[in-house]
Amino acid sequence: MQSGRVCLREALEAHFFRGEFSVFIKMQFMLLFSRQGKLRLQKWYVPLSDKEKKKITRELVQTVLARKPKMCSFLEWRDLKIVYKRYASLYFCCAIEDQDNELITLEIIHRYVELLDKYFGSVCELDIIFNFEKAYFILDEFLLGGEAQETSKKNVLKAIEQADLLQENIDFQMRLFSGVMVPNMVSESSGLFQTS
C-alpha cells in the first residue's frame, strides 16, 4: 500500500514508446507453482527484465500461498488483477488487466488443465516437472500473446499430436519416470483433478 512504489505498469510503460499508445494487454503472465512455492512454469506476455520477473514471482507466490481456501479467486495486486486456482498440489495463476474478464480467465486456466490432463492422461505435477517442454508447447497452441488462440480441445491436441508424429525415430522409448523413482512425491503425483 506504499505510495511511491514502482508499479508494474510504470515498469512496463518504460519499455514502450512514451505516451503515444496505450498499453492494453490482456494477460500479462501465467505462473504455475507448487504448494511449496516451487515455480513449475512461467510464461510472460510482457517484456520484463529477469530481475523484475523474479521479484514479481517471489511476491506473488507468497501472496497467493498465504490465502485460505474458499477465498475469492481474484485479488488486486499492484495495479493488476490476479486470477488463480489450485489443482491438487499446483497453483495456476494469471495476471490480467484491471478491466479484464476474471471468470473467462478462470476458465482459461481450467481449459489448460484439461488439455494437460488429456495429453498426459490424468496429469499430475510430476508430468509437468519432467515434461516441462511439452507443457510449454501445449500452452503455446492454446494461448498466444496472452490471448486464446484455439479454444477447441480437439484442435489443440491434434496440433500437438501432429508435432509428436514429426519426431525422428526415437532409439529408446522409455518411461520418463515410474512411481517409485522419486521420494516425497505423494502430492506431486496426485492427479490435478482429484482434489480440485
Partner 1 sequence: MPAVSKGDGMRGLAVFISDIRNCKSKEAEIKRINKELANIRSKFKGDKALDGYSKKKYVCKLLFIFLLGHDIDFGHMEAVNLLSSNKYTEKQIGYLFISVLVNSNSDLIRLINNGIKNDLASRNPTFMNLALHCIANVGSREMAEAFASQIPSILVAGDTMDSVKQSAALCLLRLNRMCPDLVPMGEWTARVVHLLNDQHLGVVTAATSLITNLAQKSPDDFKTAVALSVARLSRIVTSAAIDLQDYTYYFVAAPWLSVKLLRLLQCYPPPEDAALRSRLTECLETILNKAQEPPKSKKVQHSNAKNAILFEAISLIILYDSEPTLLVRACNQLGQFLQHRETNLRYLALESMCTLASSEFSHEAVKTHIDTVINALKTERDVSVRQRAVDLLYAMCDRSNAKQIVAEMLSYLETADYSIREEIVLKVAILAEKYAVDYTWYVDTILNLIRMAGDHVSEEVWYRVIQIVINRDEVQGYAAKTVFEVGRKLIPYQLKACGGYILGEFGNLIAGDSRSSPLVQFNLLHSKFHLCSVPTRALLLSAYIKFINLFPEIKTTIQDVLRSDSQLRNADVELQQRAVEYLRLSSIASTDILATVLEEMPPFPERESSILAKLKKKKGPGGHLPDIDDARRNVNGSTESSENAEASKKGSAHPFTDLLNVSSPPPATNSLLVDVFSDISKPAALEVCEENFSRFVCKNNGVIYEDQLLQIGLKSEYRQNLGRIYVFYGNKTSTQFVCFSSSVTSQDTLTPPQLNVHSKTVDPVIEGGAQVQQIINIECLSDFTDAPVLDISFRYGGTLQNIGVKLPVMLNKFFQPTEMTSQDFFQRWKQLGAPQQEVQKIFKAQHPMDTEVTKAKIIGFGAALLEGVDPNPTNFVGAGVIHTKSTQVGCLLRLEPNPQAEMYRLTLRTSRESVSQRLCDLLSEQF
Site for partner 1 in 52-111 (CB under 8 A): 54, 68, 70-76, 79, 97-99, 101-104, 106-108, 110-111
State which of residues 31, 88, 125, 127 lies at the interface with partner 1 (CB under 8 A).
Answer: 127
Give the number of other CB atoms < 10 A from CB of residue 7.
12
Phi and psi dihedrals of 166, rounded to 5?
A: -75, -5
Q: Are 34 and 71 in contact (CB under 8 A)?
A: no
Near partner 1 in 27-46, by CB under 8 A: 39-42, 45
State which of residues 34, 62, 92, 147 lies at the interface with partner 1 (CB under 8 A).
Answer: 147
Number of residues that bind partner 1 (CB under 8 A): 97
CB of 109 to partner 1, least distance (A): 10
- In angstroms, the CA 72 to CA 44 distance is 24
- In angstroms, the CA 127 to CA 176 distance is 9
CB of 144 to partner 1, least distance (A): 4
CB of 35 to partner 1, least distance (A): 16
Binding of partner 1 by 186 (CB under 8 A): no
Near partner 1 in 156-175, by CB under 8 A: 159, 162-164, 166-168, 170-175
CA distances from residue 35 to 28, 75, 103, 136, 196 in whole angstroms, order as listed:
22, 18, 23, 20, 13
